[in-house]
Structure 1
Amino acid sequence: MIDPADMKIAVSTAAVPYVLRNFQLDWDIFQLSIDEWCQKMHEHTRSEAVQFTSGTMKHCDTPYWERFRTHEQLTFQEFAKKSKEDNAFKDRWYSHSYRDIVVWPDTLKKSISFAKFGFENANDILFWLGSPGANTPCHYDTYGFNIVVQVFGRKSWLLFPPSTPLTPTRVPFEESSVYCTQNFYSPDRMEQFGDVGKNRDAFEVILNPGDVLIVPAHWWHYVENLDTSLTVNTWIPLDAKDCLARLGECFIRMQIDQITADDSDFIAGELRNYIYNPNEMNEPDLNLMNLFKPLADVVIENTKNGDPLDSHESQQCGRTVRDKFLNVFCKLEPVSHDRFRQILLQNSIRYNHSFDGRRLSGSKFKEVENIINAVCHPKTVTSACQLYVQQVRNQNS
């Protein structure tokens, strides 16, 4: 039994991904099958259909962005029934994901807790339900680190450290997510990956039920279901670091909102539908100018105090716990370049030659996309944040 305080420091200071195996979570949901879980959700929703995202198994030459996906209404019971049919998901995959567990009945969610990890008050808890093939394009999260619990089925993860030469893009824009342009789902060209995977910078893991994955801050990850799968996760804030990232997201949102404000050259709503992910379309308008100075002040204060997690004592304590419980903490090791290419070649079978995603995206959007990616590139934004914080520091002194 690992003390929650020790577990907290062990996962918070992890600089590379770890899989926790033989770590017993006393969640009631593990006593159910996925069919039973779906039935309880079906009853809780009064047999009403909910929105599933869907996509074809064959895809084009770009990542599986939201604009390529369709929406279908299914009840949880219909989804469970479909998952048991032979070849039900041969041509399409389905996903009901990135949803808060507040929609679960109390009988399901009452035991869901991250207290054993030392985070008793974690309340931003999401679930991801999907069929084989359901996927999330490769990206990294700008805030915090991720604790992922695999509940049912198997899920494949490809992870890459922050320094990996993937190509960042803020189109589609989703606050706190930086996607890359490389297509891992149905790659048409191996050249797009350049040197990725050549320098021991590609990590692969298949999560089984009961496994827990720790994803450190800013690690790229591409995720895909191998079976009908249910996953629960939470993002743990890193207060001393997240404020600078939040300041950067304010810069980015302001820039993109201004760039897309004049859409007179496009059909009404066409540009915004291309630039923004759907979950950003309904976000309330914020007076971003009121956020810059308070965030900068917090960044300045954090710089004075330093990040406690970066201290030698914290780092040493985290290593000691992980080394002591080697039967629980399984450090991921990079895969060979041959294995990385094998994964890509296997996925390339799904490439649909008749579906030109780049052409369908349209050159009329490309110039706007290029401008956004220039002014919102992570290096550009970091420099802007640092300059602004310095200006605020000078003003305060």
Structure 2
Amino acid sequence: MFAYRLLVSFATLPVLVRLGWRVLRGKESARAASERLGGGEASPGRVWLHAASNGELTSARPLIEAMLTRDPTLRLLVTVNTATARAMGEGWADPRIAIRMAPLDHRAVLGRFLRRHGPRALIVIENELWPNRMALVARAGLPILVIGARISERSAARWGKTGLGQKMVAQIGALSAQDPGSESRFVKLGLPPERLLPQANLKTAITLERGAPLDWARSETVLAASTHEGEEALVLRAFADARARRPGLRLILAPRHPRRAPEIAALIAKVGLAHTARSKDEPPEAEVYLADTMGEMGRWYESAGICFVGGSLVEKGGHTPYEPASFDCAILHGPHVANFREAYGALDDQGGARLTKDAAELTEQFATLGATEQAELARTARAALGPPADIEALSQAVLDRL
């Protein structure tokens, strides 16, 4: 722990310089920077819930809503790491929920944050376990709950060798693991079994608003969902090659970060395809529809029979297969799926998804995956991923520990 504190201390000055530079360049608001340093408008006496980014916050929403329904007096202070997640949370417009940028994991910053907000408990979503944060919250005598926790064998081994993992695990008052493997690894790191809550993968309980599908033939429509830099060029090349064999094919391209739309538009033009953009309210009349907005993924899943899940052809760990499965999409993914290793393992083993390692393999799937196979893949995916988490039971278990 001392080595970690020393490392954080050395890293503080460069982080502050970068934060100041981002404010000067207009890439970060002064308000957000203040919150990252433990400041901002005080919201005392609330339960502090931390969800890293869009995915974690989206997955936490059913639990949040269930808790607020069960306990009308509950008030939450929700912290996030990204501006897009903050905007999403603020878009909920719920007066019971205060949204802030998460404080840096520096003891002075965290001390300021705790004094300003005086939270009465900390709920961590998934694997956002920060040593200083947990140590100071535990020292303040506040309960720490971790929901949807996941840890890989590699991370567990590394935590075990450093001793840091055992210290953090000892501070956890209750933990709901995402899967049996993670639960076992947390217990091996020293979590007492009596502190375990029912296992729950929060992403299985996400219910996206469906929206009106595009007026395209669903079985002839491909969705590239939550793509990252380095993936769009591969997807577009594969789509262009597949369309030469299957002329009616259409593509919805939904990047993880809509701000990258201009560079993606240039990539679309480079492969000789036409496109229209959702952000410009243009009709979906071209071969490619650039879905460069937030909050409409349900509509895009509803429109597509085939879904390539992004973050998996580049080393981003892959995004959720649960959302496309819930919309009965045929799932394609790349080899980098560490974020959902067990889910994709079950899908691949049971034939509920197809691994595509490069543009050539994507081309083949885009060109040949017809309506009948799409439906079969979708049925198998639902069976492989299992039933959704019991959010009602989990919400009561969490409230009982606060």
Q: Provide the TM-score with structure 2 as the length reference.
A: 0.24
Structure having the higher helix fraction is: 2
Structure having the higher strand fraction is: 1
Larger relative contact order, structure 1 or 2 (CA cutoff 8 Å, min sep 6): 1
Q: Provide the TM-score with structure 1 as the length reference.
A: 0.25
